[in-house]
């Protein structure tokens, strides 16, 4: 008879971001273990709140399936003597298998005849299997950080206070530290704090709901969003910051929506200040105008973990807290506007960026030079604006507002720059040089933001590598991987032709007094780091591994590398492509064994096939190079189609390693020049066909 399983871990409040990954692990873990044990069941359901992680499984059989085990013993000739009597080897095998010698059979195998015992092992009760599985799972849940408390032998995200483990109406003997499982759970900490007896596994959700807990995350999320949007509609407003919902839903167990209001005067602050305070500091949902989704309304939505007797009291408390934060913001904003942004920039001289890389002012001066270097190529007409944007880019780090609300760096710099009469392009670059903030994040809209952002990042990457702060494994405290990918994404998205090697060398030139490692080694390490990150980008764009290997060898210009890879992917299915790759492989193998001469002497071309190949090669050489120089790689590669037949005929009919030394050298030179042309695009020998 099938029964239901309920397993709940009760603890102190678990951080919001820990809950979903933990539940995902629990579901995957038990599903895998049940599959390995061939234990049939219905889909695994998971539940999570700040105080509990739980799973429920219906339809679990009371006994695991029987297993059939076959054990092989010694060879037949070693198991019986000449009279057919069992030897010690045979008797020992039967004894170890737990059977009489008469029950041993002979099995025919590819290696001959061997003793064999096949027996059926009855499946053990599910009540024996589950406790071990659940204890192992609980100890392996991968939290970002864990704690020890009164149980020194176990760790968990937060101290565990209870475990409920029921299979049908039977309590499973699960233990974790000094906590032993029972059949009790707890409701809302404030509204139903007493212990609750779980009388039925299948009524778990209803039981908790009656005690002010909604254990299902999606149901809790729907309840919050329905309440938020309904109240916004009543006020002719909209709520759009739905990403906050994923955090708020795991901060409470029983949501109750409350609408609050703040003074219209605060709307004079930059909207980012209001949104930052409400979302990042108070976890409130801002309200926006129904007619203009960028315009804030003087309302917010707070979500409480209790149903108060009087909403007015709770509303007033939330409004009071928000007003205090906004009063601070208004004061900071007013005071900051009285200080020229250039004055804040000069104060960076007193701010240490890193003990080995100097002050933030020194860093700014370094990447300002790199930015001007980039501007020479990317936007020479905007060099003055680039210089000013770089100079002011970090100034707001000294402002009162950003010191209190670090999330507003760049945003406040732009705002102060605009209000102090700075060129709008410079102001925009102050904000946008921080973009993108993630691999798929929004990019700067203007070239000045691109240039300053790339210059800032390359200084950080080279500086960290130069003083030995190199990412290892999952450790990357300065987010060098993200910053490297950001540079490459900007280059690709905007179509910039930038030499990464030159960019690195320019940054290292300015960092020279700070380096603790050999500059050439730092350059090579950083270039390799950029290459490996770019490989990830190419993989994300669907470029196959062999094509990546073929183009990444010459990685320096990311845009050029991508264009070559993209062109190769477009012609790879063509019927002629395999011959080009095969020829490259053959030539590469030949050149490993011999020295290749330089030019081809036409008078030494003896056979029609090599003459035909040379003629075809010379006809397409100039246009191939011309297309390649312009970055028209798809057009260049299509010219190779005309080489398929001459190449195939050459290798079918021509003996490259001729006994005539001059002829041999000339043929090798022809092949060397041919593959040298291919190499302008990629190392074709690396491509599988």
Q: What is the rounded average pLDDT of the residues 657-679?
A: 83
Q: pLDDT for 416-432, tens place per residue?
A: 999 999 999 999 999 99
Under 8 Å CB-to-CB from 469, ≥6 apart: which residues? 477, 478
Total number of domains in the chain: 5
Tokens describing residue 316? 């007033």
- Check pLDDT > 80 for residue 598: no
Least confident stretch, 6-15, 496-505, 680-689 = 680-689
Mapped onto helix, strand or coil, the DSSP state of residue 117 is strand
Per-residue model confidence (pLDDT) at position 257: 96
The encoded tokens of residue 482 equal 């993200």
Q: Is residue 559 part of a domain?
A: no
Ordered alpha helix ranges (H), 53-187:
76-79, 88-97, 126-140
Q: Give the distance, in angstroms, between the CA of residue 519 and the centroid of all CA atoms in the same chain.
A: 31
**φ, ψ at 83 (rounded to 5°):** -95, 0
On whether the CB atoms of residues 159 and 11 are closer than 8 A, the answer is: yes
Query: Which of the two residues, 110 and 352, has the higher pLDDT score?
Result: 352
In a domain, 556, yes or no: no
Q: Which neighbouring-strand residues pair with 167?
A: 5, 170
Rounded-to-integer distance, Cα 420 and Cα 338, Å? 9
Predicted local distance difference test score (pLDDT) of residue 658: 79
554 inside domain: no
- The span from the CA of 19 to the CA of 250, in Å, is 7
Yes or no: say if 342 and 417 are a contact pair by the CB < 8 Å rule.
Answer: no
- Same domain? 320 vs 409: no
| Tokens (6 digits) for 52 | 């509990």
* Average pLDDT score, the chain: 92
52 forms beta bridges with 10, 49
β strands within 214-348, DSSP E: 237-238, 256-261, 285-289, 296-304
d(CA 116, CA 105): 5
Residue 104: strand, helix, or coil: coil
pLDDT digit string, tens, across residues 164-202 = 999 998 999 999 999 999 999 999 999 999 999 999 999
What's the pTM?
0.82
- CA 396 to CA 410: how far, in whole Å? 7
Which carries the bigger pLDDT value, residue 666 or residue 520? 520
Do residues 281 and 260 share a domain? yes
Q: Of 121, 144, 159, at which residue does a domain stop? A: 121
* Better pLDDT: 433 or 676: 433
- Indicate if 496 and 620 belong to the same structural domain: no
Tell me, what CATH number does 373's domain have? 1.10.3210
Computed over its alpha carbons, how large is the radius of gyration of the chain?
A: 35
* Average pLDDT, integer, range 282-310: 93
Interatomic CA distance for residues 608 and 569, integer angstroms: 33
Query: What is the reported pLDDT for 596?
Result: 62
Inside any domain, residue 598? yes
- Read off the tokens for 275: 């949104």
In a domain, residue 451? The reply is yes
Query: Are residue 370 and residue 410 in the same domain, yes or no?
Result: yes
| 292 and 144 inside one domain | no
The reply to whether 249 falls in a domain is: yes
pLDDT (0 to 100) of residue 328: 96
Q: Tell me how far apart the alpha carbons of residues 180 and 557 are, in angstroms, rounded to a whole number.
A: 61
pLDDT in tens, 13-35: 999 999 999 999 999 999 999 99
Confidence (pLDDT) at 641:
86
Q: Which residues contact 221 (CB under 8 A, 6 or more apart)?
A: 245, 246, 249
Give, for 548, the enclosing helix (H) or strand (E): helix 545-552
Q: What is the CATH number of the domain that holds 613?
A: 1.10.730.10
Write down which residue in 163, 189, 209 finishes a domain.
209
Comparing 49-63, 150-164, 477-491, 672-686, the range with the smallest average pLDDT is 672-686
Q: Is the pLDDT of residue 67 over 80?
A: no
Q: Same domain for 418 and 470?
A: yes
Give me the pLDDT at residue 590, please: 79
Inter-CA distances, 168 with 41, 174, 195, 210, 537, Å: 14, 15, 20, 21, 50
Q: Do both 110 and 146 map to the same domain?
A: no
**Residue 270: which of 302, 296, 238 has the closest Cα?**
296
Domain boundary pick from 307, 337, 367: 337
Q: Minimal CA–CA distance to 284: which of 300, 270, 297, 295? A: 300
**Which one is predicted more confidently, 590 or 313?**
313
Asked if the model's pLDDT at residue 112 lies above 90, the reply is no
Query: Is 231 contained in some domain?
Result: yes
pLDDT exceeds cutoff 80 at 490? yes
Of 219, 235, 218, which Cα lies nearest the Cα of 301? Answer: 235
Instruction: Kindly report the backbone phi and psi dihedral angles of residue 578, in degrees, each rounded to the nearest multiple of 5, phi listed first.
Output: -60, -35
| Cα 319 from Cα 302, distance rounded (Å) | 10
pLDDT interval class at 452 (50, 70, 90): very high
Query: Which DSSP letter does residue 238 get?
Result: E
Residue 153, C-beta contacts closer than 8 angstroms, at least 6 positions apart: 177
Q: Are residues 74 and 19 in the same domain?
A: no
Q: Which two tokens stand for residue 287?
A: 């309200």
Q: Are residues 468 and 533 in the same domain?
A: yes
Residue 560 lies in a domain: no
Inter-residue contact 538 to 565 (CB < 8 Å): yes
Mark whether 304 and 450 lie in a shared domain: no
Q: What is the pLDDT of residue 37?
A: 86
pLDDT of residue 105: 84
Burial of 379 (0-12, 13-18, 19+ CB in 10 A): middle
For residues 52 and 134, state if they share a domain.
yes
What is the pLDDT at residue 376?
Answer: 96
Please give the pLDDT value at position 597: 62
Range of the domain at 244: 217-337
Buried b (16+ CB within 10 A) or exposed e, 120-146: eeebeebbebbbebbbebbeebebeee
Are residues 383 and 487 both part of a single domain? yes
Over pLDDT 70: what percentage of the chain?
99
CA atoms of 433 and 51, how far apart (whole Å)? 41
């Amino acid at each position: 008879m099938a029964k239901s399983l309920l397993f709940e871990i009760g603890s102190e409040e678990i951080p919001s971001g820990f809950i979903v990954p933990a539940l995902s692990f629990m579901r995957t873990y038990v599903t895998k273990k049940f599959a390995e044990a061939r234990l049939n069941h219905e889909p695994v359901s998971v539940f999570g709140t700040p105080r509990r992680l739980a799973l429920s499984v219906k339809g679990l059989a009371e006994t695991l399936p029987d297993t059939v085990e076959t054990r092989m013993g010694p060879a037949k000739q070693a198991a019986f003597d000449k009279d057919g009597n069992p030897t010690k080897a045979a008797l020992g095998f039967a004894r170890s298998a737990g059977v009489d010698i008469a029950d041993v059979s002979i099995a025919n195998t590819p290696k001959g005849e061997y003793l064999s015992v096949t027996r059926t092992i009855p499946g053990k009760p599910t009540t024996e299997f589950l406790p071990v599985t659940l204890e192992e799972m609980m100890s392996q849940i991968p939290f970002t950080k864990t704690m020890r408390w009164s149980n020194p032998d176990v760790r968990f995200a937060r101290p565990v206070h209870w475990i409920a483990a029921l299979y049908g109406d039977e309590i499973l003997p699960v233990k974790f530290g000094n906590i032993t499982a029972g059949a009790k759970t707890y409701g809302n900490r404030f509204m139903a704090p007493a212990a609750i007896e779980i009388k039925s596994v299948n009524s778990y959700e209803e039981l908790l709901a009656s005690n002010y807990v909604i254990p299902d995350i999606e149901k809790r999320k729907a309840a919050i969003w329905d309440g938020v949007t309904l109240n916004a509609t009543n006020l002719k407003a909209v709520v759009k910051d739905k990403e906050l919902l994923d955090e708020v839903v795991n901060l409470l167990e029983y949501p109750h929506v409350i609408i609050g209001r703040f003074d219209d005067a605060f709307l004079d602050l930059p909207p980012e200040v209001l949104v930052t305070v409400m979302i990042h500091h108070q976890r409130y949902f801002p309200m926006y105008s129904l007619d203009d989704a960028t315009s804030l309304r003087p309302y917010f939505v707070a979500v409480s973990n209790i149903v108060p007797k009087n909403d007015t009291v709770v509303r007033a408390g939330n409004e009071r807290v928000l007003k205090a934060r906004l009063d601070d913001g208004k004061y900071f904003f007013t005071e900051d506007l009285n200080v020229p942004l250039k004055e804040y920039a000069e104060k960076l001289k007193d701010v240490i960026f890193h003990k080995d890389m100097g002050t933030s002012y020194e860093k700014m001066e370094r990447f300002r030079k790199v930015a001007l270097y980039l501007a020479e190529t990317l936007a020479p007409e905007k060099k003055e604006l680039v210089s000013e944007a770089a100079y002011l880019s970090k100034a707001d780090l000294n402002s009162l507002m950003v010191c209190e609300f670090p999330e507003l760096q760049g945003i406040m710099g732009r705002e102060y720059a605009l209000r102090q009469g700075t060129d709008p392009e410079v102001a925009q670059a102050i904000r946008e040089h921080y973009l993108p903030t993630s691999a798929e994040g929004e990019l700067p809209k203007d070239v000045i933001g691109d240039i300053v952002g790339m210059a800032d990042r390359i200084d950080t990457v080279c500086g960290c590598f130069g003083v030995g702060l190199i990412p290892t494994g999952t450790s990357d405290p300065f987010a060098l991987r993200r910053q490297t990918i950001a540079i490459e994404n900007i280059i690709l998205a905007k179509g910039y032709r930038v030499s990464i090697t030159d960019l690195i060398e320019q940054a290292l030139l300015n960092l020279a007094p700070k380096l603790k490692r050999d500059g050439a080694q730092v350059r090579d390490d950083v270039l390799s780091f950029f290459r490996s990150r770019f490989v990830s980008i190419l993989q994300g764009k669907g470029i196959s591994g062999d094509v990546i290997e073929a183009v990444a060898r010459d990685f320096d210009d990311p845009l050029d590398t991508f264009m070559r890879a993209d062109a190769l992917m477009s012609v790879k299915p063509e019927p002629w492509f395999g011959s080009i790759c095969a020829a490259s492989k053959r030539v590469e193998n030949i050149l490993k064994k011999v020295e290749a001469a330089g030019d081809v002497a036409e008078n030494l071309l003896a056979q029609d096939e090599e003459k035909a190949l040379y003629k075809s090669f010379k006809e397409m050489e100039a246009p191939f190079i011309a297309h390649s120089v312009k970055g028209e790689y798809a057009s260049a590669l299509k010219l190779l189609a005309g080489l398929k037949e001459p190449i195939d005929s050459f290798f079918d009919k021509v003996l490259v390693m001729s006994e005539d030394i001059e002829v041999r050298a000339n043929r090798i030179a022809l092949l060397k020049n041919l593959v040298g042309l291919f190499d302008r695009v990629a190392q074709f020998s690396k491509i599988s066909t």
